Structure 1
Amino acid sequence: MTLSRGRVQPVWAGHPWVFAQAIARVDGAPSAGDVVDVVDPEGRFQGRGYWSPKSAIPVRIATRDANDPLDGASIGRAIERAAALRARFGLPSAETTGYRLVHSEGDGLPGLIVDVLGNVATVQLLTIGMKLREADVFAHVARVARVKTVIEVASEKAAQREGFEAKTGVVRGPDPHALELRERGLDVSLEPTITQKTGFYFDQRENRAMVERLARGARVLDLYSFVGAFAMFAARGGAQSVIAVDSSPVAIATASRLAHHHGMSDRITFERADARHRMEELARKKERFDLVVLDPPKLAPTVKHLERARGAYRRLNADAARVTERDGVLVSCSCSAAMTPDELVRVATMGARDAGRDLTLLHMGEQGPDHPVPAAFAEGRYLKAAFFRVT
Structure 2
Amino acid sequence: MEFQTTKTQLSQRATVRIKKGMGRSLKAGGAWIYDNEIDIITGSFTNGDLALIEDYDGFPLGTGFINTCSKLTVRMMSRKKDAVIDEAFIEMRVRNAWEYRKAVTDTSSCRLIFAEADFLPGMIVDKFSDVLVVESLALGIDRFKQMIVEKLKKVLAEDGVIIRGVYERSDAKVRLQEGMERYKGFIGEPFVTKVEIMENGVRYLVDVEDGQKTGFFLDQKYNRLAVQNLCRRIRPDRVLDCFTHTGSFALNAGLAGSREVLGIDASRLAVDQAAENAALNDLQNRVHFQCADVFDLLPGLEQKGETFDVVILDPPAFTKSRNSVRNAIKGYREINRRGMKLVKDGGYLATCSCSHFLTPDLFSKTIREAAGNAHKRLRQIEYRTQASDHPILWSADESYYLKFFIFQVCEEP
| TM-score, normalised via structure 2 length | 0.90
Identify if the C-alpha distance between structure 1 residues 327 and 47 changes in structure 2 by more than 3 Å, giving closer, same or farther.
farther
From 374, 389, 396, the equivalent of 1:377 is: 396
CA distance, structure 2, for counterparts of residue 40 and residue 50 of structure 1: 16
Residue aligned with 2:174, SS: helix
AA aligned to 2:79 is: R
The answer to whether the 8 Å contact 1:317/1:351 transfers is yes
Letter in structure 1 aligned against 2:95: E
Moved more, 132-141 or 344-353: 132-141
> Is the 8 Å Cα contact of residues 114 and 124 (structure 1) preserved in structure 2?
yes
Distance in 2 (alpha carbons) for counterparts of 1:380 and 1:89? 17
Mapped to 2, the partners of 1:378 and 1:262 lie a distance apart of: 38
- Structure 2: distance between partners of 1:196 and 1:328: 31
* Partner residue, 1:302: 321
Q: Would you say 1:18 and 2:29 are equivalent positions? A: no
User: Residue 3 of structure 1 aligns to which amino acid in structure 2?
Assistant: I
Corresponding residue of 1:110: 121
Matched, 1:193 2:209: yes
1:358 maps to 2:377: yes
Q: Judge conservation of contact 1:72–1:133 (CA < 8 Å) in 2.
A: no
Q: 1:206 aligns with which of 222, 232, 239?
A: 222
Aligned position for 1:259: 278
Who is 2:333 aligned against? Answer: 314
Query: Pairwise mapping of residues 89-168 of structure 1 onto structure 2 (< 5 A)?
Result: 89-92=104-107, 97-145=108-156, 146-168=162-184
Tell me the amino acid that sits aligned with residue 227 of structure 1: T
Q: What residue in structure 1 maps to residue 292 of structure 2? A: 273
- Say if 1:122 and 1:195, in contact at 8 Å, map to a contact too: no
**Separation in 1, partners of 2:172, 2:245:** 22
Would the aligned equivalents of 1:153 and 1:196 in 2 still touch at CA under 8 Å?
no
The answer to whether the Cα contact below 8 Å between 1:32 and 1:51 also exists between their aligned partners in 2 is: yes
Q: Which residue in 2 is equivalent to 1:77?
A: 92
Aligned: 1:349 with 2:365 = no
Q: How far apart are 1:352 and its partner, in Å?
A: 2.1
Which amino acid in structure 2 is aligned with residue 207 of structure 1?
Answer: N
Residue 43 of structure 2 is aligned to residue 28 of structure 1: yes
- Going from structure 1 to structure 2, the CA distance change for 1:177 and 1:201 (only over 3 Å counts) comes to closer
- The amino acid across from 2:151 in the alignment is H
Where 1:169 maps in the other structure, the secondary structure is strand
Contact 2:393 2:400 in 1 (8 A): no
- The one-character-per-residue Cα deviations of 1:311-366 (angstroms, maximum 9, x if unpaired) are 11111111111101122111111111100111111111212222222223332211
Q: Distance in 2 between matches of 1:355 and 1:184?
A: 33
Partner of 2:343: 324
In structure 2, give the amino acid aligned to 1:292: V
Instruction: Give the whole-Å Cα distance in 2 for the aligned partners of 1:82 and 1:91.
Output: 14
Asked if 2 retains the 8 angstrom alpha-carbon contact of 1:177 and 1:192, the reply is: yes
| Distance (Å, rounded) in 1 between the aligned partners of 2:185 and 2:40 | 39
**Matching residue's letter, 1:284:** Q
The one-letter amino acid of 2:31's match is P
1:53 counterpart (68, 73, 96): 68
**Contact 1:235/1:242 (CA < 8 Å) preserved in 2?**
yes
Matches within 5 A, 1:211-250: 211-216=227-232, 217-218=235-236, 219-250=238-269
Q: Secondary structure at the match of 2:227?
A: helix
TM superposition shift of 1:177: 4.4
CA distance in 2, matches of 1:249, 1:86: 34
Partners of 1:303 and 1:171 lie apart in 2 by: 35
- 2:54 matches 1:39: yes
Deviation, structure 1 residue 196: 4.1
> Can you list the C-alpha shifts for 1:357-390, whole angstroms capped at 9, x where unaligned?
2223332211111001221122321111122221
**Offset at 1:204?**
0.3
2:191 to 167, 172, 175: 175
Secondary structure at 1:26 match in 2: strand
- Aligned AA (2:171): S
Matches of 1:310 and 1:191 in 2, distance apart?
31
- Count of aligned pairs: 387
State the match for 1:64 in structure 2.
79
Alpha-carbon shift at residue 294 of structure 1 (Å): 0.4
Question: Unaligned regions of 5+ residues in structure 1, if any?
Answer: none
Shift of 1:226: 0.5
Query: Contact conserved, 2:302 with 2:342, CA < 8 A, in 1?
Result: yes
Conserved? CA contact 1:121–1:141, under 8 Å: no
Show CA shifts across 1:187-240 (max 9, x none): 322333234433221100111111011113112110000011101111122222
Determine the structure 1 residue equivalent to 2:303. Answer: 284
Contact 2:311 2:349 (8 Å CA) reproduced: yes
